[in-house]
Structure formats: C-alpha cells, structure tokens
Structure 1
Amino acid sequence: MSEIRHIVFDIGKVLIHYDPEIPFRRLIPDPKQREWFFATVCTHDWNLEQDRGRSWAEAEQQLIALHPDHEELIRAFRQHWPEMVSHAYDDSVEILKSVIDWGHDVTMLTNFASDTFSEARQKFPFLNLARGITVSAEVGLIKPQREIYDLHASTFGLDPEATLFIDDSRANVEGAQAAGWRAVQFVSADQLRKDFEAYGIRT
C-alpha cells in the first residue's frame, strides 16, 4: 500500500454541522408539514443544484413558479442558511489542526454554494487552514462525479494513490475510490483517528 502523502477533507458533516431542520422547526412547527416541505418543495436535489453553481435567485424563481403559495418559506431557506450550520465538530477540527501541525499536506473538497461557503469561511476560520480548497459551485462539478476528484488532484498536485479522502457520504467515498484515491467514510472523530492510525498518519 502506497504511503499517504495527501489528506483531503470534506467539510459538511465532517468538520461543521449542517441541518436545514434547525430554522424550519421554528418556521414549520408541524413535523408532518415540515417533512412534506423538504420532500416536495425545498428538496435535497433542489439544494444540490446550488452546490453545482446555480444562483439562489434562479433557484428561488424556479421553485416559486412551481409553488407560489410557499414563496415566503422558499426564500427563508437561503435567508436562514446561517442557522443551518450551527456549530463545528470540535473533535474533528482538533484532528484537522493536528495533522496540519504534524506537517501533513491537507486540502479540502466540498459540495458547497459559492456565497454560503464564503460565509462559512468567515464563521469557521479553521476552513482557511488547508493548503487549498475545491468548492463544487466554483468549478461547476459536484461529488461524486469523477471529474471533480481528477480536477482537485490536478489542481493541487496530488498523487491519487497517495491520497486519503474523508467524507460522510458513502457515495462520495466510492467516487473518490473510483478516481484511484484511498478513502474512508466519516462516522465519528474517534473512528477517524483509528482510520488515520491504520494508514500510519499521526494525529
């Protein structure tokens, strides 16, 4: 097995918490109505297109045309986005800082809209510690597309076989593996330490 020389972190649900339910528990108190709203109106797939680069203005316009009675709630998704990233995972951030302090080459690869990512970097300064970051919306590609892994590796000079990727999504982990990277699925900071130890990475 090749020695790991590059570590690539995902961000959402690995380093920072993300949960659209947080503001919408207040905006739509009824659980069944809230479940319907996320399943039918502001769906995961709708939100993912902003990660691919679609503007919020266009996203809102298209959705309001389909669901005019829910215009206020549709616009509330972006307006209350800062509440959705409520906190960092301190134990994961400690690992991030530790591997950087040990001299490991660390970059980040994330599915994120451009404007919300700029806000996240201001709210969570540790997102500026990595050598570089590929943000999906800025390159018009999205995990688990093969092309985004290849682009990240090319941009930052990574040897795929010597790269370890950490992501909470099984599909994104498998996408990295298909691109020739080593990859582990994030489930907890404790497990991540064990995964790093198995690869001979000091934390």
Structure 2
Amino acid sequence: MPEAAVKAVLWDIGNVIVRWNPRTLYDKFFKEPAEADRFLSHVCTMDWHVAHDLGVTFADNRAPLLARFPEYSDAIHAWETRWWEMFSGPIPETEAAIEALHAAGVPQFGVTNMSHETFPGTIAMSPAFKRLRNYVVSAHDGVMKPDPAFYALACERFGLTPAEVLFVDDSAWNIRAAETFGFDVHHFTDPAALRPALEARRLL
C-alpha cells in the first residue's frame, strides 16, 4: 500500500487513548493478589465482560454471577460501582499525537468495543476526544471488533475506503483482522513508537 494513500486515523480507545485494566481496581479491592487473580479468571472474566460491549447492561449481566457467586457480591457490583477505578488516566503520547494530527488537518475517528453505559464518561477523560469527529461504538451499533462488519461500518459512517485508513489498536487480534480487511495498521504496544509511525505515513 502506498504510504501517501493513508489520510485518516481510526483510534481504538482503551489502552490506546486511556489506560484501562480491571487489575487497577481489584488489586485494591482484594488483599491478596491470588484472590484478585481468582476473581478475574473465574468470576468477572473478560469473556463475561464482552456482553457489556454488545449492549447488555451492567445490572442484567451481573445477575447470573450474583446467583452463582454470592460470596463475591461486593466485588461483582464493584465492576459497575467502582468501574472508573479501573482507569489510570490518558496516555500522554497519544493525546499529543491526536492534537498534532488535528493541527495538521488529518481526520480522526474513534472505534471501540465499549458499553453504552460507560462511553460518555470515558470520552470525558481527555480533551483529545473532542478532536475525534465521530465514533463506532460496539454497544450502540451491535457489532464488535474484529468482525469485518465493524470495519465496514466504520468506513461507511466516516466516508472512507480501507486504503485511506490507519487503524491504531492495542489488540493483535483486532489488528490482524483490520489488516486483512484492507486497513493500514499500527499495533499500539509502545507509546513512544506512535509518532514515528504517523510520520512514516506522512500524516505528521
């Protein structure tokens, strides 16, 4: 793909623009790390959390867990009531890149697997979110990354062809699917590598 063909950036949100990890909360919640491990691997698992990203409410999604694991009632409720303690703030390198791209006139959009209940609060965490022109949010749109239909919806909504897109995500799974779809991709693992990746594509 000619590098100059890329003209817009699609940003994942969690662990690309803001840092999110349930351990940030549950390491405070449980006294023993092994107990936090047990809870996150057997009770509130990432497979269970997917339902939030598809639009199931926190209240509805936790009901079966409360029945199965009454001893973890407080911790299960904390997935919602202390949700924001899972975040450890915006990623400065990404914020700076978004501002630089905005100044350069590069169109930017957000694409995320996220609950409709947490999306408004998440995009209030950084002024950088105001630079993104539009979003595809899984809970709102009924489709999740890495489904190719998610990427197709983003192109349709944002008026882009795949060849015009640089997609930035922390998930290797999402990145592989997006690359197969036709996006240029940057796997976000090191914040310091972000700006060089944008410069290599002549976006900055």
Same fold (TM over 0.5): yes
SS of the aligned residue for 2:108 comes to strand
Q: Amino acid of the residue matched to residue 33 of structure 1?
A: E
Q: Within the alignment, does 1:59 sit opposite 2:61 as a pair? A: yes
The residue number in structure 2 matching 1:196 is 198
The residue number in structure 2 matching 1:111 is 113
Displacement of 1:189 in angstroms is 2.5
Q: How does 1:147-186 map to 2 (within 5 A)?
A: 147-186=149-188
The residue number in structure 2 matching 1:19 is 21
Whole-Å separation in 2 of the counterparts to 1:189 and 1:68: 40
The residue number in structure 1 matching 2:39 is 37
Whole-Å separation in 2 of the counterparts to 1:167 and 1:80: 25
Whole-Å separation in 2 of the counterparts to 1:119 and 1:109: 16
Displacement of 1:126 in angstroms is 2.1
Displacement of 1:97 in angstroms is 1.0
Q: Aligned residue pairs: how many?
A: 202
Displacement of 1:99 in angstroms is 0.6
Whole-Å separation in 2 of the counterparts to 1:65 and 1:141: 28
Which ranges of 4 or more aligned residues in structure 1 deviate by more than 6 Å? none
Give the alignment's TM-score, normalised by structure 2: 0.95
The residue number in structure 2 matching 1:124 is 126
How big is the alpha-carbon RMSD for the aligned residues of Structure 1 and Structure 2?
A: 1.2
Displacement of 1:106 in angstroms is 0.7
SS of the aligned residue for 2:189 comes to coil
Whole-Å separation in 2 of the counterparts to 1:83 and 1:197: 34
Q: CA, structure 1 residues 119+64, in 2 after alignment: closer, same or farther (shift >3 Å)?
A: same
Q: Within the alignment, does 1:92 sit opposite 2:94 as a pair? A: yes
Q: For structure 1, which runs of at least 5 residues remain unmatched after alignment?
A: none
The residue number in structure 1 matching 2:141 is 139
Whole-Å separation in 2 of the counterparts to 1:158 and 1:185: 20
**Greater displacement, 167-176 / 17-26:** 17-26
SS of the aligned residue for 2:109 comes to strand
Q: For structure 2, which runs of at least 5 residues remain unmatched after alignment?
A: none
- For each residue in 1:50-77, what CA deviation from the matched residue of structure 2 results, as whole angstroms up to 9, or x when unmatched? 0111111111112112212211110011
Whole-Å separation in 2 of the counterparts to 1:186 and 1:146: 20
SS of the aligned residue for 1:115 comes to coil
Whole-Å separation in 2 of the counterparts to 1:91 and 1:121: 17
Whole-Å separation in 1 of the counterparts to 2:202 and 2:125: 32
Displacement of 1:17 in angstroms is 0.7
Give the alignment's TM-score, normalised by structure 1: 0.95
